[in-house]
Amino acid sequence: MAVEFSFVSLPFIFMIIGTIETALMFTSQSLLSASTATAARLIRTGQIQQGAGDPEETFRNAVCDFAAILIPCDDIQFQVLDLEDFGAADDLPDATFDENGNLQNQGFSPGGVNDVVLIRVAYNYNIVTPLMQPVLTNTGGSTRTMLSTIVLQTEPYQFEN
């Protein structure tokens, strides 16, 4: 019985570790999407644009506060671009990344009242399990780039008294 267990134990342990790795990866992606939606709400309602302080830092803090459970804040990258209209989102190129897998920064422009805004938030998830790297990576290395994108129109948040 010990011989049979030795044949089964190593693959079983790798399967368990791979399952945990995959679950953490998908949880991180879900967390990134939810944190993007939470921070995007601040742009949609004008709280970023009309708030005191640096709008970019406020947005970063909103993303990080929600995602900090699994995602280190220093590893989160984002773009916030003001667009002409929703059709302009189709004309934009896909998100571009540098040789290190970091999102190319195209600025932070949260727009104004009734503007269309594109929000991209990226995170490079480090895959720890070597046997899972060939299956889970999309960068050719040991990371998987996760990207959450939202296109929204800001609300008419400037009201007359």
Tens-place pLDDT, residues 106-152: 889 999 999 999 999 999 999 988 888 888 888 878 889 999 999 99
pLDDT at 161 exceeding the cut of 60: no
Tokens 């929600």, located at residue: 66
Residue 160 inside a domain? The answer is: no
Contact at 8 Å (CB) between 92 and 149? no
Assess if residue 134 is contained within a domain: yes
Is residue 161, in this structure, part of any structural domain at all? no
Q: Where are the beta strands (DSSP E) in 19-98?
A: 76-83
84 assigned to some structural domain:
yes
Q: What domain range includes position 97?
A: 2-153
Instruction: Give the number of domains in the chain.
Output: 1
Quick check: 25 and 127 in contact, CB under 8 A? Answer: yes
User: Can you give the pLDDT at residue 87?
Assistant: 82
Residue 105: inside a domain:
yes
**pLDDT score, position 76:** 93
Q: Distance between CA atoms of 64 and 69, rounded to whole angstroms?
A: 9
**Over the Cα atoms of the chain, what is R_g?**
20
Would 158 be classed as within a structural domain? no
More confident residue, 135 or 57: 57
- pLDDT above 90 (res 91): no
Mean pLDDT of the chain: 88
Q: Is residue 60 part of a domain?
A: yes
Report the pLDDT value the prediction gives residue 71, as an integer from 0 to 100: 93
| Residue 139 falls inside a structural domain | yes
